[in-house]
Each structure stands twice: as C-alpha cells, then as structure tokens.
Amino acid sequence: MGKQREVLVFGAGVIGAYLTHVLIQGGNKVSVLAREKRAESLNKNGLVIYHHLQRKVTRDLVDAITDTDGRAFDAVFVVMPYHKLKEALPQIYRLNTKLLVLVGNDLSPAEMEEKIRQNASGIKKILFGFQVSGGKKEEDRYICERFGGSYMDLGQLHGRINDKMRRWIGKMFAGTKYKLNWQDDMESYLICHPAAILPIGYLSYICDGNLRKSTSAQRKMMFEASHEAYECLKKKGIPIYPKGDDRFYGDGAKGKLMKFLYFIMAKSKIGDLIACEHCRNAVSEMEEIDLFYGDLLKECSAEDLVTWNRLRGQMPSWEALHRKYGN
C-alpha cells in the first residue's frame, strides 16, 4: 500500500463537503479549511451528509482547521464561489502543495493562474476542475444531491495532462465511484459553462427561487436561451467544451434528453437542490457571471439572442435579488 496522501479541501460548502467525503473514502488523510464556527461543528460532529437520492447518511471524521499554519500538502482542492475565490487569493498564495486544483466557476482562469504563479512559490502544479453535484448546507450537516458517484471535469488551461499526473491524481479517488473526466481546454470549458447555467438561474429568479412554479413555455425559453448562447460562442470562435455539449440544446436525441431533465428538475426536489439552492445562496457569483456573459455576447446581434434577452429581462434586478436573499 502506498503512502497516504495529505489532502486539503479549502472551503466547506456543499461541493467541498462531498469532495471531502469522496477523498476520505479514497484513503487520503483529509483536512478541511473552514471558518471558525463550521470548523468547530465538523470537529465536534464529524462531516455528516444526507445523500438525498441515495437515501443514506454518512459521517466521516475530519480534521477541520482555520489556518494551514505552514503545513505542506500533496494536493489542495479550492472549492468556493468565484467572487470568494478572488477574496481568498492571499491565503492561496501561502499554500505549500504539489498540486492545486481550483474547483468551480472561474471567469478568468488564465489571469487567476498567472497571479498564483507570480505570488505562490510553494505551489508546483495548477489545474482547474468542475464537480457536478449540489445540495444544501445546514447547521450540523449537509444535504447532497448527486447522480451516481458524481464526477469532476478536470484539466489544465490548455493541452493534455500527461499520463503520470493522471495516474497520480486518480489514485486519490481509487476505490470510489467518483469519476474524473479529463479535459484538454479548461479555459474554454469554464467560458462555455455559463451558457448552460445562466438561463437556469434566470428562470429560478423569475420563479421566486422555486422552479416548481415554472411553466412549460418558460422551460422552453430556458432551453432556447442556452441554444442561442452556444451558437454565439461558436460564431466567436470559442471551442465548445465539454465537446458536444451544445448538442444537448439542439433538435436531436440529446436535446430531447435535456428537455426531459429540465422537466424532472422543475418538478422535483432535485431541481431545488441542484439549481435553486445555489441561485438563492450565490447571488453575487451569479451576478458576476451574468456581467461577464453580457460582455462576452455583446458582439452578437439582438436577433441572435432574442430568447436569451427576453428571459433575462423578466427576472428581478440584481439589487432586488441581493435584498431578497441577503448575499
């Protein structure tokens, strides 16, 4: 048996909590960097997760810390909303690790990587990832929504990661059902991703944070808005990543599957945990993504974005949303 890896999960939200659970199941020694109150809860009660679809509760012993105190780690996964990621840069600069993975939405990954390289001599390798799961954070536990073992799309900004690095990272997840989907252009991936998530956010806000209130006509608009955004990205010469994702918003079998998933999302607890919960608790992040896409798509004509603009125009102002949800 190989040496147990020292891993830090930087961020104790719902995404980081499930990632921590998986890494512990993979046999790693995992620490979680959290705010003082959350760290106290984790150390006292353990990492308690109710897995909604799987109908089970897990409890993991975890070392929750509020400062890294100069410790060295084999790998660090930074898991937090984009606007908080920028705020955490001074702490990230002080990390000492062989591998840093920035997990989540990132609208300026190249700039983020350059800042870290210039200011963090203790970080050897930087990758970007996106984990597909959701849920809700409660006082002493988490509710996790995931399909199967969940997965992470993972890679460097550009180019294929060598096989040795893939194997090294893969060993951290050995024996789990969690999958790593390797991408060779994470910059394009992170730019494309909002084309899928922003229309869901717009409709969630239109429906007062509850997609159960949505109509079939509104869900059709949500679908068409994403289709328009992907077409605009292609016109701008931006490669679509993951490859073929735009086909989920077309007329073929993948498009029919996505429409069915939208229906399930809107009519069940799944949609609330996967989509609405994030929209309610990450207004600042959604606003930044919206502003970024406003600039990105401004060269596209109004005819190219008829449904996108119509859907976006129906939601409350960002000021009203901040007042409503308090973040």
For 178-230, how does the pLDDT look when each residue is reduced to its tens digit (9 = 90+)?
A: 999 999 999 999 999 999 999 999 999 999 999 999 999 999 999 999 999 99
Q: Residue 142: which pLDDT band, with cuts at 50, 70 and 90? A: very high
The number of C-alpha atoms within 13 Å of 191 and in the hemisphere containing its C-beta is: 20
Determine the pLDDT at residue 327: 78
For 119-129, how does the pLDDT look when each residue is reduced to its tens digit (9 = 90+)?
A: 999 999 999 99
Cα separation of 85 and 115, whole Å?
Answer: 12
Cα separation of 57 and 49, whole Å?
Answer: 6
- Tell me what the pLDDT averaged over the chain comes to: 95
Determine the pLDDT at residue 2: 59
Determine the pLDDT at residue 75: 98
DSSP at 61: -
Determine the pLDDT at residue 213: 95
109 contact partners, CB below 8 Å, separation of at least 6: 102, 128, 157, 186, 187, 190
Determine the pLDDT at residue 83: 87
Cα separation of 11 and 4, whole Å?
Answer: 22
Q: Is 309's pLDDT higher than 90?
A: yes
Please give the average per-residue pLDDT across 170-174, as a whole number.
96
Determine the pLDDT at residue 326: 85
- Amino acid letter for position 42: L
For 85-101, how does the pLDDT look when each residue is reduced to its tens digit (9 = 90+)?
A: 989 999 999 999 999 99
DSSP at 161: P
Cβ atoms of 133 and 150 closer than 8 Å = yes
Determine the pLDDT at residue 115: 96
For 218-269, how does the pLDDT look when each residue is reduced to its tens digit (9 = 90+)?
A: 999 999 999 999 999 999 999 999 999 999 999 999 999 999 999 999 999 9
**Two tokens, residue 7:** 């891993």
Determine the pLDDT at residue 3: 76
Question: What does the radius of gyration of the chain's CA atoms come to, in whole angstroms?
Answer: 20
Cα separation of 113 and 108, whole Å?
Answer: 9
Q: Which residues of 20-32 are buried (b: 16+ CB within 10 A; e: fewer)?
A: bbbbbbbbbbbbb
Please give the average per-residue pLDDT across 40-59, as a whole number.
97
